[in-house]
Amino acid sequence: MNTVPRLTRQTSAPKPGIVHLGPGAFFRAFNAIYTADAMAVDGGDWGIIAVSLRCPTARDQLGPQGGVFTAINMAPDGAQYRQIDSIVDVLVAPEKPGAVIDAMVAATTHIVSLTITEKGYCHAPSTGALQLDHPDIQHDLVNPSAPKSAPGFLVEALARRRAAGHAPFTVLSCDNLPDNGHLARKIVIALAKERDPELADWIAQNVPFPATMVDRITPATTDADISALAEAQGYQDPACVAHEPFRQWVIEDTFAGPRPAWQAAGAQFVGDVAAHEAMKLRCLNGTHSALAYLGYLGGHETISDTVADPDYARFVQHLWAEEILPAVVQPEGEDLAAYTAALLERYRNPSIRHRTWQIAMDGSQKLPQRLLGTISENLAAGRDCSGLMLVVAGWMRYVGGVDEVGAAIDVRDPLADRLRTASDSAPDAAGKVAALLAMRDVFDQELAETPSFQAGVSAAYTSLMDHGAKVCVAAIA
């Protein structure tokens, strides 16, 4: 029987210039491709040393292939395959923390980028403050030379660069968080201050933390994707990643040293990312979460399945027109009505099997950025936000761990146990809502204690229990 060969590197690897923390699917479908495109146009030593902070999966997938992987462009008219060769090494931090720090300290490393998701910052999403009682942060304060957290690695590497007289690297956050650069800076300086106030001052004065806005829908790779790739291209690639055709990267142009010519690959360098960031977080991520929770509860497996339901499509259009866009400042060069219309077409792409369950992960970390800020502004302005309050109620129903037909929901969230306990602590809708609103990790006190918000979410939760998500969505749509 013929064995399909494994993908291997056929080109010489570029020299490293970037260390990246969090080598998951989004990084491969986004950062790695932009960097490969930049080097193809402008050259440079911008190979990426990818670092997994937890498990060895990425190393086990990419290592035998020399870091090369296949990007699958899931266009509506069929898949397009491309090999990406910008990753030059993959390290597993728990196995070799010293090697990770050495790579970050190397004088040739100019940028340390991150896609570590919201929970990787070890912060309280409702306040943005570093959680000093976080187990990984506690460990890193005691064991600074063998850290566990991303902030711990950043602080230790910067401390060693400072001690060696090296210039600092740029810390480039690429996570879906409001003002992600400011958050990364705040967290790193707070941790550094616990170790050495002078180090914290040096970081504050010398280390850039540019904000970014990143956008590309990247569903989890499936066995079917890997099999289809093997059949189409004649090789095995367990590290392959699927993505939509669209991509957008807006970057604050503040760097400590050289950077790749990402602009040659279509990235936008700007003075202030805030407006683009808010547009994307509220318009795309906010409605992605809305469709994830209410779509899952309504029995839909993917986003494209969900918006194929006319009521859900009308619901998301209502959210944009009536509840989200009134709270969004139009960025320079953007047309918000056209942007949201394009979003709906992206959601409808049948080639993108982006599961509602996948998007629903880590909701306790995402709600403050994606939904709660919009709700707070609408309430303050006297605007309607009944649809967004239904989404919050949908999240509350989801984290209760039981769906509308009584089946268990596999809730993946760093607060999953606490959320389930809070939900189970009360027998009725009002009690469950009150218990969840009392969680300061998610809801800030001012919003949680706003009577109209309490009443609106409680009424929406009761309606979900009585009628189900599909009926509730249709009533607003």
Cα(134)–Cα(153) distance, rounded to whole angstroms? 15
154 within 8 A of 169, measured Cβ to Cβ: no
207 occurs within a structural domain = yes
CA distances from 101 to 49, 188, 245, 326, 457 (A): 12, 15, 35, 45, 46
Cα(101)–Cα(451) distance, rounded to whole angstroms? 49
pLDDT > 90: percent of the chain? 94
User: Sign of the C-alpha dihedral, residues 464, 468, 474, 477?
Assistant: positive
Same domain, 164 and 255: yes
8 occurs within a structural domain = no
Burial environment of residue 350 by CB neighbours within 10 A (0 to 12, 13 to 18, 19 or more): exposed
The predicted pLDDT at position 332 comes to: 83
Mean pLDDT throughout 199-221? 96
The predicted pLDDT at position 2 comes to: 54
Same domain, 330 and 213: no
Give the domain-ending residue among 270, 289, 322. 270
Cα(309)–Cα(173) distance, rounded to whole angstroms? 36
| Structure tokens belonging to residue 128 | 């943005």
Give the domain-ending residue among 254, 270, 286. 270
pLDDT tier, 238 (very low <50, low <70, confident <90, very high otherwise):
very high
348 within 8 A of 340, measured Cβ to Cβ: no
| Structure tokens belonging to residue 328 | 């969004």
Same domain, 460 and 326: yes
**Token pair 């566990």: residue:** 148
- How confident is the model over 423-447, as pLDDT tens digits? 999 999 999 999 999 999 999 999 9
| Domains held by the chain: number | 2
448 occurs within a structural domain = yes
Q: Which residues of 163-190 are buried (b: 16+ CB within 10 A; e: fewer)?
A: eeeeebbbbbbbbbbbbbbbbbbbbbbb
9 occurs within a structural domain = no
CA 211 to chain centre: 14
115 within 8 A of 215, measured Cβ to Cβ: no
Same domain, 441 and 458: yes
- How confident is the model over 166-177, as pLDDT tens digits? 999 999 999 988
Mean pLDDT throughout 100-118? 97
DSSP H helices in 112-149: 135-142
**Token pair 């998951």: residue:** 24
Same domain, 21 and 148: yes
By DSSP bridging, strand 16-21 and strand 241-243 are unpaired
Same domain, 282 and 250: no
Same domain, 44 and 186: yes
13 within 8 A of 47, measured Cβ to Cβ: yes
pTM of the model: 0.87
- How confident is the model over 11-45, as pLDDT tens digits? 899 999 999 999 999 999 999 999 999 999 999 99
Contacts of 49 (CB under 8 A, 6+ apart): 16, 18, 19, 20, 87, 88, 89, 90, 91, 103, 109
- CATH assignment of the domain containing 464: 1.10.1040.10
10 occurs within a structural domain = no
4 occurs within a structural domain = no
Cα(274)–Cα(122) distance, rounded to whole angstroms? 22
- CATH assignment of the domain containing 189: 3.40.50.720
Cα(236)–Cα(171) distance, rounded to whole angstroms? 34
3-class state of residue 150 by DSSP? helix
122 within 8 A of 130, measured Cβ to Cβ: yes
**Token pair 């990084």: residue:** 27
| Structure tokens belonging to residue 257 | 């040293």
- How confident is the model over 52-64, as pLDDT tens digits? 999 999 999 999 9
Single out the residue of 295, 319, 293 nearest to residue 306, CA to CA: 295
- How confident is the model over 288-305, as pLDDT tens digits? 999 999 999 999 999 999
pLDDT > 70: percent of the chain? 100
Q: Write phi, then psi, for 291 (nearest 5 degrees).
A: -70, -30
Same domain, 223 and 365: no
- How confident is the model over 351-393, as pLDDT tens digits? 888 999 999 999 999 999 899 999 999 999 999 999 999 999 9
Same domain, 258 and 378: no
152 occurs within a structural domain = yes
124 occurs within a structural domain = yes
85 within 8 A of 36, measured Cβ to Cβ: yes
Mean pLDDT of the chain: 96
Give the domain-ending residue among 212, 247, 270. 270
Same domain, 317 and 457: yes
Residue-range definition of the domain harbouring residue 193: 16-270
Cα(246)–Cα(342) distance, rounded to whole angstroms? 10
Same domain, 215 and 311: no
Same domain, 308 and 215: no
